[in-house]
A and B are shown apart, each in its own frame.
Chain A
Amino acid sequence: MSILTALARLLIFPGILFAVPAAWFFLWVERKSVAMMQGRIGPPFMQPFFDFIKLLGKSTPQRTGVAGALMRAWPLIAVSTAAGAVGLLPVLPSSGGFQGDLILLLALLEVPSICIIAAGFTSRSIFGEIGSAREAVLSVSYNVVFLLAIISVAASQHTFRLEALAQAPATSLRWIGILAVLICLPAKLHLNPFSLPNAEQEIYSGPMVEFAGPELAMWELSHGLEWVAATGLVATLIAPQMAFWGLSALAFVALSFGIVLLLSALAAATARLAIDTTVRFYWQCTIIFAVLAVSSALLMRLRS
């Protein structure tokens, strides 16, 4: 891959130029499907864009010192890492050079969550701190399952390179891994029933409570980009390989959209669970999937 193709991937498709409108579109789909399931019409198509522009034009409270600088920095770090994660997705076939690495992608996907935890504690609001603590507990619970599932997928194909993973044929083991990843996605994207950290009724939207204006706009954008990256990761694992790059791009977009619809419907149909129930769900119920997947992957490795 030449530097030009790398830049095109990062800036055009599936990078910034595709990812930002896609993020707004997914945020709209989330709100619209919740509205439709409640028997409402819901927000207009351009609503996330209106919200973003409006938030850019709002003032922020005066903050000085290190805490002020950090509060401006966290959302920017979250947005840039989420955009980088989207740019790494192996949607289009490339040739040679730097190819997406699964470990880098997972690290980039994890940074926004860490930023949210840090942001809540930096804001020094009691609600923000509770939200951050919840986010930290949630992240420890779902990440065990999430990482085990991804490792099992990678181990069964003998590679950590995203390109090779996307091109490998789907096995039954891979489907178990994908299922475990899908179960983790609502927690990763803070959706019902695992929307504990940003519970707007109980803790005034948690870590975001003190953020206003452009900072909040960046948080919204990073949330949308996380949607694109997380659904895109599953979509690239599911998507069949096409000969023509346009077709594979189309399959990627369609599959991502399908996963967004599925997750939004789940969010609209469920209520928020308590923190102990959530942790128990991940540590007791879902981990069986992941352990099954990873142990069978290792057995396959030993036998082959």
Chain B
Amino acid sequence: MNLWKRLMCYCRRRSPWLFHLNSGSCNGCDIEIVAALAPRYDAEQLGVRLEGSPRHADILCVTGPVTRNAVCAIKTVYGQVCGPKAVVAIGSCPATTNVFIDSRTLDGPLGKHIPVDVFVPGCPPRPDAIIEGVAKAAQILAERGDEVPEVITAAEVQA
């Protein structure tokens, strides 16, 4: 690996920019993401920044059990994130659809629609688990390089 690639790898690990996408969440996980960025947990120490536009982001943080209405939006937003990119499923909902399983309004779990890199289970997960999930996704991002993920494989972070 030459010097530029090693530098790039290091910088990708140290600068994960997030885009938060709510796919029908109860807002429980959403406030935990905000808590992870707030003074007590301060994820900015790892270079994490919550971005307004998916074009700027590296990591897509999805919360919620994926409602039928949200499927199209999820696919669009996933396409708008420029590569290399990673997806973190935050909470039990995107992983398994949680207590809403068998609901006719859902089309989950998230793994059916886009490749997920890290699952952070919990209802809601603790902010430190979310930060660990994001750090793991940043590591995956750095190791993956420019290739686009094909196979759906996921690491799991214990809450």
Listed in ascending order, the chain A residues whose CB lies under 8 Å from chain B are 31, 35, 38-44, 46-47, 49-51, 53-54, 56-61, 127, 200-201, 203-205, 208-213, 216
Least CB separation from A61: chain B residue: B82
10 closest pairs, A vs B, by CB? Answer: A200-B52, A53-B11, A204-B52, A212-B55, A50-B15, A205-B52, A212-B82, A40-B42, A54-B11, A39-B39
Give which listed residue, A35, A47, A57, A60, contacts B12 with CB less than 8 A. Answer: A57
Chain B residues near A41 (CB, 8 Å)? 42, 44-45
Chain B residues near A46 (CB, 8 Å)? 14
CB contact under 8 A between A208 and B56, given known A43-B47, A44-B45? yes
A213 touches B82 (CB 8 A): yes
A205 touches B83 (CB 8 A): no
- B interface, size bucket: 20 to 34
Pull 12 A–B residue pairs with CB atoms less than 8 Å apart, ordered by A. A40-B45, A44-B45, A46-B14, A47-B15, A54-B14, A54-B15, A56-B8, A57-B146, A59-B83, A61-B82, A205-B51, A216-B56
CB contact under 8 A between A50 and B52, given known A42-B42, A58-B58, A58-B84? no
B76 interfacial contact with A, CB 8 Å: no
Chain B residues near A54 (CB, 8 Å)? 8, 11-12, 14-15, 58
A40 touches B39 (CB 8 A): yes
A216 to B54, CA, bound (A): 12
B105 interfacial contact with A, CB 8 Å: no
**CB within 8 Å: A-B pair count:** 88
Listed in ascending order, the chain B residues whose CB lies under 8 Å from chain A are 7-8, 10-12, 14-15, 17, 39, 42, 44-45, 47, 51-53, 55-56, 58, 80, 82-84, 146
Give which listed residue, B8, B45, B51, contacts A200 with CB less than 8 A. Answer: B51
Give which listed residue, B7, B39, B52, B146, contacts A53 with CB less than 8 A. Answer: B7
Chain A residues near B11 (CB, 8 Å)? 49-51, 53-54, 57
CB distance from B125 to the nearest CB of A (A): 21
A204 touches B53 (CB 8 A): yes
Chain B residues near A43 (CB, 8 Å)? 44-45, 47
A208 to B51, CA, bound (A): 11
Give which listed residue, B15, B44, B55, B83, contacts A209 with CB less than 8 A. Answer: B55
Give which listed residue, B45, B47, B82, contacts A50 with CB less than 8 A. Answer: B47
Chain B residues near A210 (CB, 8 Å)? 53, 55
A58 to B29, CA, bound (A): 28
Interface centre among A38, A43, A211 (most CB of B within 10 A): A43
Chain A residues near B58 (CB, 8 Å)? 54, 58
A208 touches B15 (CB 8 A): no
